[in-house]
Structure 1
Amino acid sequence: MNQASSKIQNPETSVPKTPEMNERDFLNDQLATEKYMTASYTTALNEASNQSLYQDLATIFKETQDCQRNLYNLMFQNGWYAVEQEQQQKVQQSYQQFTGYKSQLPYSIQ
């Protein structure tokens, strides 16, 4: 049985539909940039060999991640970002699958 997922979205705040970038366009661009930056900082953190550099990068990463989340929340509040609600059965299947993976680890993660 294939049920359609439903969108979770706030009412969309209207913006001018002109060739110029509007508020939604600017926020979307900034959100994409912040997502890219957090991914890049993750790589830098994984490869940092100096503890002091690692700590500085971790601080910057956290600030960048928080900025990304704030932008996401703002876009969601304005109805410019929607997420799909997954069926409970699929969520339960994924949970069971990863619980099975956890049991295969050499030690238990609590």
Structure 2
Amino acid sequence: MNQSQKIQNPETSVPKTPQMNERDFINDQLTTEKYMTASYNIALNEASNQTFYQDLATIFKETQDCQRNLYNLMFKNGWYSIEQEQPQKIQQAYQQFNGYKTQLPYTVQ
């Protein structure tokens, strides 16, 4: 059985105290930005006015970019890690979702 590997940078140390440290603050911001992008996505889906939709889309993009920058900062400092998936699982998922195309009324070529 193959074990998945963690992909992570060396962790930048922060004080281990009851007070919030730099990692805690950035993690809190990242969580907030993730929540906001999810909320803006719902608002975009439900916007009935084109001008309002365009304004929301601009704000959504800025919020999404901020979320990505915070993620990159967390990853760079070793405070966020990801698991490397095994190639056979990636291939299996690809085949599964590629098979769904046959269930659609039309496919984009």
What TM-score range do you get, normalising by the shorter chain?
Answer: over 0.9
2:81 matched residue in structure 1: 82
> 2:2 and 2:8 mapped to 1: Cα distance?
19
Give the distance between the partners of 1:75 and 1:54, measured in 2 at CA: 31
What SS is found at the alignment partner of 1:7? Answer: strand
Q: Is the 8 A contact 1:38 1:61 kept in 2?
A: yes
Task: Tell whether the 8 Å contact from 1:102 to 1:109 is kept in structure 2 after alignment.
Answer: no
1:64 corresponds to which letter in structure 2?
T
| 1:10/1:77 contact within 8 Å kept | yes
Secondary structure of 1:14's partner?
coil
Aligned twin of 1:43? 42
The Cα shift of 1:25 comes to 0.2
- Identity among equivalent positions (%) equals 81
TM-score normalised by length of structure 2:
0.97
Structure 1, unaligned runs of 5 or more: none
Q: Which amino acid aligns with 2:69?
A: N
1:4 CA drift (Å): 1.6
Q: Quick one: distance in 1 between partners of 2:69 and 2:40?
A: 18
Question: Partners in 1 of 2:87 and 2:13 — Cα distance?
Answer: 33
- Please list every run of at least 4 consecutive aligned residues from structure 1 whose deviation after the TM superposition is greater than 3 angstroms: none
Structure 2's unaligned 5+ residue stretches are none
Residues paired across the two proteins, number: 109
Q: What is the distance in 1 between the residues matched to 2:76 and 2:61?
A: 22
Report the AA paired with residue 86 of structure 1: E
